[in-house]
Amino acid sequence: MRTLQPTPEARHARRYAATIARRLKKHYPGATCSLNFATPLELLVATILSAQCTDERVNMVAPALFQTYRTAADYARAPQEELEAAIRSTGFFRSKAKHIRAACRAILEQHADKVPGSMDALVALPGIGRKSANVVLGTAFGIGVGIVVDTHVTRVSRRLGLTSHKDPEKIERDLMALFPKSQWIDLGHAMVHHGRRICAARKPKCGACPLGDICPRIGVKDA
């Protein structure tokens, strides 16, 4: 059987992606998740709190929260109003408290009191989508089954021309096709850091960007 060879366009795209990965790794060595946590459960709760909220704010709320609620059972049994009060400053606190309590009940009843280590099981938990599941799997378990696609990764990948999509799952598929699986975890973290520090939404620092000479700056009006 004849083996299909990649097109010149595909080879160029992979070389371009490899250059991006190499430079981001050099510029953000050891980049990791910005959420503070000590256990997979703490990271799971933190990812739920991070929806429509900055990691900085979550990290301010987390210490007292994690001191009060140490196990899935603690969250599951906590009165709704009590948990709402503890996380109020993260915004959308009613739905977040509801999701945390329900997710922890599921962990207790369906996963033997352990945060599951698979994508299918994680996205089945209330309040956990694919992005959050990738954060938990990659950061807490070192399992790279996908790439975290948040607002920063979306912006960076579109400006670099790595994708033309806006839907996170379609963006993730495009990135997974360009980068080897061994890079997925670290690449996601590096792209998040790059979006925060250099490739900002309103005023990207293109002059200080390690990718400035190769980036097509798609959609960038003022740099």
Catalytic residues: 131, 150
Q: Helix (H, G, I), strand (E, B), or coil: what is residue 9?
A: helix
- Residues, the chain: 223
The Cα–Cα gap between 83 and 127 comes to 15
Q: What is the full DSSP assignment across 92-112?
A: -HHHHHHHHHHHHHHHHHHST
Q: Helix (H, G, I), strand (E, B), or coil: what is residue 91?
A: coil
CA distances from 221 to 148, 201, 202, 216 (A): 26, 11, 9, 12
DSSP letter assigned to residue 78: S
**3-state percent helix, strand, coil for the chain, nearest multiple of 5:** 60, 0, 40
The Cα–Cα gap between 218 and 195 comes to 14
How many C-beta atoms lie closer than 10 Å to residue 191's C-beta? Answer: 29
